[in-house]
Amino acid sequence: MRQHLLALALIAALGGCQQADAPASATPPAAAPAQAADAAADAAFADLSKRALDSWMQLSPVGATQIGDHRFDSEIDDLSAAGQQKTLTAYKGLLAELEKMDVAKLGRENQVDAAILRNQLQSDIWNAEVLQSSKWDPQMYNGLAGSAIYGLMAREFAPLPERLKSATARMEKIPAIFAQARENLDPARVPKIHAETVAKQNRGILSIVDTFITPHIGELPQADQQRLQAAIDGLKKAVDEQQQWLDKTLVPNAKGEFRVGAELYDQKLKFALNSSLSRQEIGERARAELKRVRQDMYGIAQTVLKDKPGAPEMPAQPSDAQQQKAIEAALELAYADKPARDKVVEDAKAALDQSTAFVREHDLMTLPDAPVDIILMPEFQRGVAVAYCDSPGPLDKNLKTFYAVSPIPDDWNDKQVDSFLREYNSRMIHLLSIHEGTPGHYLEGWHSAKFPSTLRAVLRSGLFAEGWAVYTERMMQEQGYLDNDPLFHLVQLKFYLRTISNAILDQGVHVDNWTREQAMHLMTHDAFQQESEASGKWVRAQLTSAQLPTYFVGAQEHFDTRKAAQEKLGDQFNLKAYHDKMLSYGAPPVRFARQLMLDQPIE
């Protein structure tokens, strides 16, 4: 779940809210007016949500398709200045209505939804008026163009001819997105790394056409075939024109600063996390965790390297250099077991099967009954993350989840491939399948989609989702996955170091003006990442901000919530019951799930 590049940040669609909490017992007649007020407040909130759903789906047809509302599958988002102003006006109107409501009169679930809605609206308005991504981030347009087609063709939510007709209509409109990008983007504000990345991804949209559309042209009536072919030809021409502009105008003239700076970063972080933790608190906790985890890894190294020929010196109180050398030597034992170059996706599938079987055998939580497919990551989405989980939209029922894995590029030399496979060794592939699949994103997404609030489903918290996926990595290790293999524990801690370093890296880059050298030292030395992984994360840290910390902050809040539940329930605590309860809330920010679970006030 991530939050991947399917342009969901362009929308904030909502609706289908919870009913008011039912009274626990009969109430004296004097309390009746308060009850009526509560019911009226919940009804007003539900009405606001329903009206907002319809208006916002119209404002973002591409996002609506991904959510599972297919009324606007032939339309496309309007990112012109007038279109963006129309959207901003709608956001402000919705927020004004929400602010007039007495949220304290809502039922608890609706109090949570109101808080989520307010945060999203405030974030969208701030982005439009202050951050102004549409003026400097070309990824916004590239992601929208690719998703416009991919969202229609990747899942079989309707007969193929119907989806092909919608794709035809959208391909006819995609040139307008490119034109809007050229009109809106100010090269002086565009960071060069953003321009270069989009220049590499631009033609990827044609691979979607070649894969999903071209082979099926013959399945349409003759007139529709001709229109579809004309749309494809027009799209190819538009992609060529956009490539010329990217290569000759945007990339050479891109002079923007990719670092957002402390003021913008802190506000963006507040919206992105919806957490009580500040940037400073996140940094302090991450640095403390970095130290603790390295100490734990050293303890495992002392065990797995004991009596091995050539093992480094491992005193009880090691120096920094001794600790580093011992952990690196232990990790080499794990790196020796790695997949073949062309077997990464195949091994990921086998690992997913194994982790699913483990969850079932140990009865750790309720398993999904919806399908999941491991696929090669679409070309237009490559270059940011190695893998992601793409769950079906909350309004699309019983459709497949995609666990996408980026293939090793064909032009990589043996050294680059070896670096990648050392990082994504066989045990790391297991962790990746736990994180993206079961019991991570795939399983969490299935549970979350069952919650009856469409608002909660559409505005699913990245903090909850990413934190849950990291939480499950530790939980599976603690439950004895892979027969309590100490090297699996070592690799799990290394994977967790990546989560920790993500939070430190994001602040270092965007607030503290870290250089590439500083970033690479954190990742390759402190967190033991391979050069290829660290290089890719350096690119990602430049292309994004305030997203990398969601893994760490969400995980901390999940760890804290489970601890609080265990302390409250004592001997009556049941792990499966806890997991199913946590997953039953529809993935709000973790602090709200904690408040609901522990019967605390919604704040």
Q: 361 is written with which tokens? A: 């055998």
Q: 276: buried, middle or exposed (CB in 10 Å: 19+, 13-18, 0-12)? A: exposed
Angle between helices 486-510 and 279-304 (to 10 degrees): 150
- Residues 341-390: pLDDT tens digits? 888 888 999 999 999 999 999 999 999 998 888 888 877 666 556 788 88
Is the predicted pLDDT of residue 553 greater than 80, yes or no?
A: yes
C-alpha span between 551 and 591 (Å, rounded):
15
Q: What average pLDDT score do residues 561-590 get?
A: 97
- Residues 175-187: pLDDT tens digits? 999 999 999 999 9
Helix (H) or strand (E) holding 389: strand 387-390
Asked which of 377-391, 436-450, 548-562 is least confident by mean pLDDT, the reply is: 377-391
Hey, which residues does 404 pair with through a beta bridge?
375, 388
Contacts of residue 419, defined as CB under 8 A and 6 or more positions apart, other chains included, come to: 530, 531, 532, 533
The pLDDT confidence band at residue 391, using thresholds 50, 70 and 90, is confident
C-alpha span between 500 and 496 (Å, rounded):
6
Query: Which is higher by pLDDT, 112 or 373?
Result: 112
Angle at 472 between CA 543 and CA 579, to 5 degrees: 125
- 430 near 354, Cβ under 8 Å? yes
Q: How many residues are given for the chain?
A: 603
Question: Which of 468-477 are b and which e, b meaning 16 or more Cβ less than 10 Å from the residue's Cβ?
Answer: bbbbbbbbbb
C-alpha span between 107 and 93 (Å, rounded):
23
Is the predicted pLDDT of residue 316 greater than 50, yes or no?
A: yes
Ramachandran category for residue 76: left, alpha or beta (phi over 0 → left; psi -120 to 50 → alpha): beta
- For the chain, the average pLDDT equals 90
- 511 near 279, Cβ under 8 Å? yes
- 388 near 2, Cβ under 8 Å? yes
In order of 198, 257, 544, the CA distances from 187 in angstroms are: 13, 11, 18
Task: Return the number of other C-beta atoms located less than 10 Å from residue 422's C-beta.
Answer: 20
Q: 579 is written with which tokens? A: 């997991």
- Residues 22-58: pLDDT tens digits? 323 333 333 333 344 489 999 999 999 888 888 889 9
pLDDT at 10: 33
pLDDT at 381: 63
C-alpha span between 217 and 23 (Å, rounded):
58
- Residues 227-257: pLDDT tens digits? 999 999 999 999 999 999 999 999 999 999 9
Which amino acid is it at 228?
L
- 351 near 432, Cβ under 8 Å? yes
Residue 386: phi, psi to the nearest 5?
-75, -30
Helix (H) or strand (E) holding 312: none
Query: Which is higher by pLDDT, 455 or 111?
Result: 111
User: Which residue in the block uniquely carries the two structure tokens 């370093």?
Assistant: 501
Helix (H) or strand (E) holding 401: strand 401-405
For residue 107, give the nearest of 190, 45, 167, 33 by alpha carbon: 45
C-alpha span between 171 and 153 (Å, rounded):
12
Q: pTM of the prediction?
A: 0.88
Helix (H) or strand (E) holding 350: helix 344-361
The pLDDT confidence band at residue 430, using thresholds 50, 70 and 90, is very high
C-alpha span between 4 and 59 (Å, rounded):
21
Tell me the CB-side half-sphere exposure of residue 41, using CA atoms within 13 A. Answer: 23
- 595 near 602, Cβ under 8 Å? yes
C-alpha span between 473 and 454 (Å, rounded):
28
pLDDT at 19: 31
Residue 210 DSSP symbol: I
For residue 454, give the nearest of 10, 66, 17, 43 by alpha carbon: 17
pLDDT at 34: 38
C-alpha span between 475 and 473 (Å, rounded):
6
DSSP states of 159-199: -HHHHHHHHHHHHHHHHHHHHHHHHH--TTTSBHHHHHHHH
Residue 256: phi, psi to the nearest 5?
-75, 160
Q: Where are the domains of the chain?
A: 1-20+31-132, 137-255, 344-371+404-597
